Structure 1
Amino acid sequence: MTLLEIFLVAVGLAMDAFGVAIGKGLMLTEGESYKKIVLSFLFGLFQFIMPLIGWFVGSQFIDIISEFDHWIIFILLSYLGISMIRQSRGECTCAAHAEQSQGPVNERTLGMWEMIMLAVATSLDALAVGLTFAFLSVNVWEASSIIGLVAFAMSMIGVYLGKFMGRFVGEYAEIIGGVVLILIGLKILLQHLGIIVGLI
């Protein structure tokens, strides 16, 4: 897996956190700017940790399933991508919409526990992607660092520009992220089957 592919996967994974960050950016006041930094840091931290956990788990079974690991990678990335697309279109899990259903922004606050839970929830996809790293030629520390940094950067953009970007961008961000993950999984599958040669 090339650095460009890892970066694209990182962007795809970060889209979920990006969408949530937009919604939380809408509710945080100017006096809570430090929470924007803390939230973004937690998103990046857990996006860094989860692939490492997934890689460790996957590496325990690499000898058993190495013959069909490319199908596992394709299925996992496709499932994650389709799930992100379905959530953004059908289940309406966009954070900005959730805030509207919970009352006025100034009546709610974002506590540390909620931020940690959001960070864990938005990084579960990275756990599954880390599992696929065990079957690929990937420096897991480098890949996890890229994923964490991209998540942190995109979360910062989301929380600070949330009030200007609104729900529309948050919803479509997950669709874009889902499509990216599906395409990466498809490319890896076709490469292993010998149908295409590496393009990126």
Structure 2
Amino acid sequence: MNLISLFFLSLAMSADAFAAALGKGATLQKPRLRDALRTGVIFGCVEGLTPLIGWLVGYAALQYVEAWDHWVAFFLLLGLGLHMIYEGMKIDSSEQDKASESHSFMLLALTAVATSIDALAVGMGLAFVDVNIVLAAIMIGSATCIMVTVGVMAGRLLGRAIGRRAEVVGGVVLILIGAAIVYEHVFAA
């Protein structure tokens, strides 16, 4: 696999994380660049590690995981999305506390894991291709870090436009990402 292919693979692997980051950026009141970078690093590390894990598991588990990885991603994203919608619909006088809670490390890490399930399967597939898996993982992680950082800051503008219900939009985005993953695996050739 050449560098150009790895570059496009990296962009594809970071697309769902970017969409989730738009939602995250919208839920935060006024995310600072530091918040965006923190989110980008968390997502980038998780997204960079999952192809390595997938590659290590590779030969033995490919036929089993490939059959249901999209359902795992869907249910994780559905659960997170529904939680975000619920939190966005609650009447809460403490908006600032809610924004900082939605940016907690554990919630960010769980969201990052949910959006990187497909990278696990890609890593398994890369076990059968002549590729430098370390370089591939670094490129995927770096692209995700950059895309998520930009996504959080872009989501800040979206958050101003939609006001208090930004978390609902973020939840819907996560559910749509999960549905797209299932659609791609179930209905696409």
Q: 1:180 to 1:116 in 2, by over 3 A?
A: closer
Whether 1:154 and 2:151 are equivalent positions in the alignment is yes
- Which residue identity lines up with residue 92 of structure 2 in the other structure? S
Label 1:71 to 1:39 Cα distance change in 2 as closer, same or farther (>3 A).
same
Counterpart check, 1:68 vs 2:57: no
Aligned residues: percent identity? 10
Q: Which runs of 5+ in 2 are unaligned?
A: 127-132
Does residue 134 of structure 2 align to residue 143 of structure 1? no
Cα separation, partners in 2 of 1:80 and 1:132, compared to 1, 3 Å: farther
Distance 2:78 2:54 in 1: 22
Contact 1:43 1:123 in 2 (8 A): no
Alignment CA distance shift 1:108-1:23 (3 Å):
closer
- Of 17, 24, 28 in structure 2, the residue corresponding to residue 20 of structure 1 is 24
Question: Aligned partners of 1:7 and 1:158: how far apart in 2?
Answer: 19
Q: How far did residue 183 of structure 1 move? A: 2.2
Give how far 1:126 is off: 3.9
Paired position in structure 1 for 2:123: 134
Equivalent-residue separation in structure 2 for 1:10 and 1:66 (angstroms): 22
Distance 1:180 1:22, change over 3 A: closer
Question: Looking at CA atoms only, which structure, 1 or 2, has the larger radius of gyration?
Answer: 1
CA contact (8 A) 2:25 2:155 kept: yes
1:166 to 160, 163, 166: 163
Instruction: State TM-score, norm by structure 2.
Output: 0.68
Letter in 1 for 2:82: R
Aligned residue type for 1:67: Q
Gaps of at least 5 residues in structure 1 are 29-34
| Aligned residue-pair number | 176
- Tell me the CA shift for residue 155 of structure 1: 0.2
CA distance in 1, matches of 2:79, 2:49: 21
If the length of structure 1 is used for normalisation, what is the TM-score? 0.65
In the alignment, residue 39 of structure 2 is paired with which amino acid?
Answer: F
Aligned residue for 1:45?
A: 41
User: 2:35 corresponds to which letter in structure 1?
Assistant: L
- Quote the residue 1:79 is aligned against: 75
1:23/1:170 contact within 8 Å kept: yes
Q: How many angstroms does 1:46 deviate by?
A: 1.0
Counterpart CA distance in 2 for 1:184 and 1:121 is: 17
| In structure 1, distance between residues paired with 2:177 and 2:99 | 33
- Displacement, 1:78? 2.2
Q: Is the 8 A contact 1:17 1:122 kept in 2?
A: no
